[in-house]
């Protein structure tokens, strides 16, 4: 999907490229990729790098264009991992600015005309636009981290009574999400530092946005590291909990087997084909049954006294 806007932020959509316009490309098709290369004159290597899901964030400055790649969080409900990160490329030229992402996201959602409707002033500076993207990315990381923490709390409650590995598998997926987040946030922090050192920030507004973006990015990194440390400890603790729960179940089954053996043993002794003093007594059968029940109850009481039951 290719959308062309007259200014940054997507306030007015236009059919053709204009000077100073913003082009937003989400999930491009094969024909759209060819159009980006031939009509928009974007290097094929840059397009391939941005569409590579494992591409690392970086900054490239050339004579007539610049490329900034950052990693943004996306929700993947149909994947094994609920959250992951994908590259978002920002291609800057003298006549236009283009953003390209291989997946729909909340940073630049395809279904919304403008992701910056909450701002009163239009964005006319490409550096200001880039910093706002980093700021939105940091906010999205923080929001997803809170959701990961909520899902982890639900898994904890289920793990306390579980004897299966399914909950541990879900917890491992949450840990993988945090690893993706930590790696991407650290790389974004390096990109922000390079942008600051490049001395392209010339206004006080952009300097304030840079500070805000770096603060949000640092806060997201700290939260992700804290959650990751907590989950690493929980993985070890709950692995022991599951093993202990399984031992408790096996212990209870063993005690039940012992209790059931008592009437079986009694019936086996008196059921032997040998003479005894009760073979002709009419009360023998009820007496054997009652004695078996009494012995079983006695066994249960002894186990309860030792807190085995």
pLDDT at residue 23 greater than cutoff 50: yes
**Structure-block tokens of residue 57:** 């964030």
Percent of the chain with pLDDT over 70: 85
> Which residue is associated with the tokens 């149909």?
78
Per-residue confidence at 182, pLDDT binned at 50, 70, 90?
very high
In tens, the pLDDT along 79-112 reads: 678 888 999 998 888 888 888 888 888 888 766 6
Contact 108, 27 (CB under 8 A): no
Per-residue confidence at 120, pLDDT binned at 50, 70, 90?
very low
Contact 151, 82 (CB under 8 A): yes
Neighbouring residues of 69: CB distance < 8 A, sequence distance ≥ 6: 49, 50, 55, 56, 57, 58, 59, 87, 88, 89, 90, 191
In tens, the pLDDT along 227-250 reads: 888 877 777 776 677 677 777 778
Mean pLDDT over the full length of the chain = 80
Mean pLDDT value across residues 211-224: 89
Q: What is the spatial distance between Cα 155 and Cα 201, in angstroms, rounded to a whole number? A: 45
> Which residue is associated with the tokens 């990015």?
217
Q: What is the spatial distance between Cα 134 and Cα 138, in angstroms, rounded to a whole number? A: 6
Contact 299, 258 (CB under 8 A): yes
Contact 210, 195 (CB under 8 A): yes
Report the largest interatomic distance among the alpha carbons of the chain, rounded to a whole angstrom. 113
b/e burial code for range 178-188 (CB count within 10 A of at least 16 → b): bebbbebbebb
Contacts of 89-92 spanning 24+ positions with Cβ under 8 A: 89/46, 89/49, 89/50, 90/130, 90/133, 91/42, 91/46, 91/65, 91/66, 91/67, 92/65, 92/66, 92/67, 92/68, 92/126
Q: What is the spatial distance between Cα 35 and Cα 38, in angstroms, rounded to a whole number? A: 5
pLDDT at residue 10 greater than cutoff 70: no
Q: What is the spatial distance between Cα 85 and Cα 105, in angstroms, rounded to a whole number? A: 10
What pLDDT does residue 142 have?
92
What pLDDT does residue 119 have?
54
pLDDT at residue 160 greater than cutoff 70: no
- Taken in order of first residue, the domains within the chain and their CATH numbers are 1-113 (3.30.460.20), 253-305 (no CATH)
Return the bridge partners of 65, or none: 93
């Amino acid at each position: 999907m290719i959308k062309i806007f007259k200014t940054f932020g997507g306030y007015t959509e236009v059919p053709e490229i204009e000077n100073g316009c913003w082009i937003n490309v989400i999930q491009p098709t094969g024909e759209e990729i060819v159009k980006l290369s031939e009509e928009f004159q974007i290097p094929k290597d840059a397009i391939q790098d941005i569409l590579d899901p494992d591409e690392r964030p970086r900054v490239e400055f050339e004579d007539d264009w610049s490329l900034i790649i950052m990693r943004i969080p996306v929700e993947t409900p149909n994947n094994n991992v609920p959250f992951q990160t994908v590259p978002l490329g920002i291609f800057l030229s003298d006549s236009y600015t283009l953003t390209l992402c291989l997946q729909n996201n909340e940073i630049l959602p395809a279904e919304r005309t403008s992701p910056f409707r909450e701002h009163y002033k239009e964005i006319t500076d490409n550096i200001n636009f880039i910093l706002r993207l980093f700021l939105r990315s940091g906010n999205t990381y923080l929001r997803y981290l809170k959701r990961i923490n909520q899902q982890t709390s639900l898994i904890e409650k289920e793990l306390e009574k579980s004897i299966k590995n399914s909950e541990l598998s879900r917890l491992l997926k949450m840990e993988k999400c945090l690893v993706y987040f930590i790696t991407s946030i650290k790389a974004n922090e390096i990109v922000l530092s390079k942008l600051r050192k490049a001395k392209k920030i010339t206004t006080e507004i952009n300097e304030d946005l840079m500070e805000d973006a770096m603060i949000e990015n640092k806060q997201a990194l700290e939260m992700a590291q804290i959650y990751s440390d907590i989950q690493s400890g929980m993985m070890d603790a709950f692995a022991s909990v599951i093993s202990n729960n399984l031992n408790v179940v096996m212990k209870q089954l063993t005690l039940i087997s012992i209790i059931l053996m008592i009437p079986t043993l009694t019936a086996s002794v008196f059921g032997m084909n040998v003479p005894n003093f009760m073979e002709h007594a009419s009360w023998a059968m009820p007496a054997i049954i009652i004695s078996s029940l009494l012995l079983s109850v006695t066994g249960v009481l002894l186990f309860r006294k030792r807190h085995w039951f």
